[in-house]
Amino acid sequence: MKNFQIIILIVFIVSAVFGILVFSGAINIGGSSNSSGSLGTVVLWGTVKTQDMASALEDFNKANPTLTVKYVQKSSTTFDQDLLEALASGSGPDMFFLPDNLAFHYANKIYTIPYASYPLATFKSTFASAGEVFLTSKGILAFPIMIDPLVMYYNRSMLDANSIVAPPSSWSELQNLIPALNKKDENGKIIKSAVALGHFSNVLNAKSILSALFMQVGNNIISEKNGSFYSVLGDTVGASLGNINSALLFYTSFADPAKDIYSWNRSFPNSKDFFSANNLAFYFGYASELKSLINKNPNLDFTVAPLPQIKNANFKLTSAQMTGIAVSAFSKNLTTAVTAASLMAQGDFAEKLSSILLIPPARRTLLAVRQTDAFFPTFYSSALYAKGWLDPSSKDSDNIFRTMVENVLSGSMSVENSIRDASAKLSLLLNR
């Protein structure tokens, strides 16, 4: 018994010393020997199905015998509430999969990894740019695992029937294709549409499309300074506001019957259903939607292309949904949790989970692996130039973007004032 107590004491001392060294930066968890000194079991929560996690997690635990990660699946509809209640009661997980739209919400409940322990340069050289949504001036909120980029699915049959050889690579090319792809009945009503843009309620991923347009013209939507987040949506510095005005006006123009590019109105079903019914040429959706699109209509002849860009722009950009692994600030085994999260993001686990879920990985070396099927070359290349922003509240920001669009369509506000109004409301969300 005495020897056993001595062993336990030694284990405790080793673990405690390691924790001090890691958090002081003396041990760099961005290095190759991350698991040294970590002991015990940590619990990971997420909404990924248990059976999808099983093989990747089993291999991870075998490869890292000094620690064990146990996974608990939670419902996607109640994940946020379940996690909040568990953390408040002290029974929460050590780690959790963190969607980027919850990162701001959980920032004060996450153990922020200091740059002394995981250098910023290492982070940027390891993970694609979309992962930077988890960076703050104080450190890292989560280790990126997967990037789900916004892409352009297109109906090959519709393009072929109109002698269109290739999908548009720019927004101006897309505009030029609309007259040929829109099909109308004898009363002039659109029955087949080129693209679902202009409205909000029946355009799936409307906020993501608008975000991509705004970021393509150089507006980052949310910024941070000295730990405080603020909206730059209505920023008047330089030409930013003029550009973002043009982006919003461009988007809403597709809903204006007086415009040549008119292609969408409120009477249509949601854009995904219309695309699946073989009535929409271009659908802007996430890489993760591929399986559901195939299941909706297995006979639909469609493939994928990158999101259109501004013609002659000197960079490419699309929006993305980002998932990382965050460490709870209330973990009772913080040292092991931090080490496990780092290892999962940098090791084979991320690659295996990505291949199971059919979502591109966040690590640059994995995105460099050549893909040969019809869809994943576009998914992987898009993930490399994808970008996100720290959404303070997904539901509330949806309403803000919806109101911004509807104010322009109704004529109740100018484009400029609609953007300023949205920016002010975003700032209130960030400060409440």
Q: Is the pLDDT reported for residue 227 higher than 90?
A: no
Q: What pLDDT score was predicted for residue 19?
A: 44
Q: What pLDDT score was predicted for residue 39?
A: 85
Summarize the confidence of residues 336-351 as an average pLDDT: 96
Distances (CA, A) of 251 to 195, 196, 198, 206, 416: 11, 10, 5, 10, 14
| Homologous superfamily of 2-147+321-381 | Periplasmic binding protein-like II (3.40.190.10)
Q: Is the pLDDT reported for residue 208 higher than 70?
A: yes
Among the residue ranges 28-37, 79-88, 190-199, 207-216, the one predicted with the least confidence is 28-37
Domains 2-147+321-381 and 149-320+389-431 share a fold: yes
Residues pairing with 322 in the sheet: 147
Q: Is the pLDDT reported for residue 37 higher than 60?
A: no
Summarize the confidence of residues 268-293 as an average pLDDT: 98
CA-CA distance, 14 to 38, in Å (whole number)? 9
Q: What does the block give as tokens for 405?
A: 């669009």
| pLDDT band, very low/low/confident/very high, at 265 (cuts 50, 70, 90) | very high
Q: Is the pLDDT reported for residue 220 higher than 80?
A: yes
Please state which CATH number belongs to domain 149-320+389-431: 3.40.190.10
Summarize the confidence of residues 388-412 as an average pLDDT: 97
Distances (CA, A) of 245 to 56, 207, 213, 422: 46, 16, 11, 12
| pLDDT band, very low/low/confident/very high, at 15 (cuts 50, 70, 90) | very low
Q: Is the pLDDT reported for residue 5 higher than 90?
A: no
**Domain boundaries of the chain, sorted by first residue:** 2-147+321-381, 149-320+389-431
Distances (CA, A) of 16 to 4, 10, 155: 18, 10, 58
Report how far Cα 261 is from the mean position of its chain's Cα atoms.
29
Summarize the confidence of residues 411-428 as an average pLDDT: 96
Contact at 8 Å (CB) between 144 and 358?
Answer: no
Summarize the confidence of residues 41-55 as an average pLDDT: 97
Q: Is the pLDDT reported for residue 10 higher than 50?
A: no
Tell me the pLDDT tens digit for each residue of 352-385: 999 999 999 999 999 999 899 999 999 999 999 9
Tell me the pLDDT tens digit for each residue of 78-118: 999 999 999 999 899 999 999 999 999 999 999 999 999 99
Q: What pLDDT score was predicted for residue 241?
A: 54
Q: What pLDDT score was predicted for residue 395?
A: 95
Mean residue pLDDT across the chain: 91
Q: What pLDDT score was predicted for residue 275?
A: 98
Q: Which residue has the higher pLDDT, 213 or 432?
A: 213
Q: Is the pLDDT reported for residue 332 higher than 60?
A: yes
pTM: 0.90
Q: Is the pLDDT reported for residue 35 higher than 90?
A: no
Q: What pLDDT score was predicted for residue 189?
A: 94
CA-CA distance, 161 to 180, in Å (whole number)? 10
Rounded to 5 degrees, φ, ψ at 230 are -150, 155
The neighbour count for residue 225, using CB atoms within 10 Å, is 8
% of the chain surpassing 70 pLDDT? 90
Tell me the pLDDT tens digit for each residue of 173-193: 999 999 999 999 999 899 999
Q: What pLDDT score was predicted for residue 191?
A: 96
Q: What pLDDT score was predicted for residue 213?
A: 97
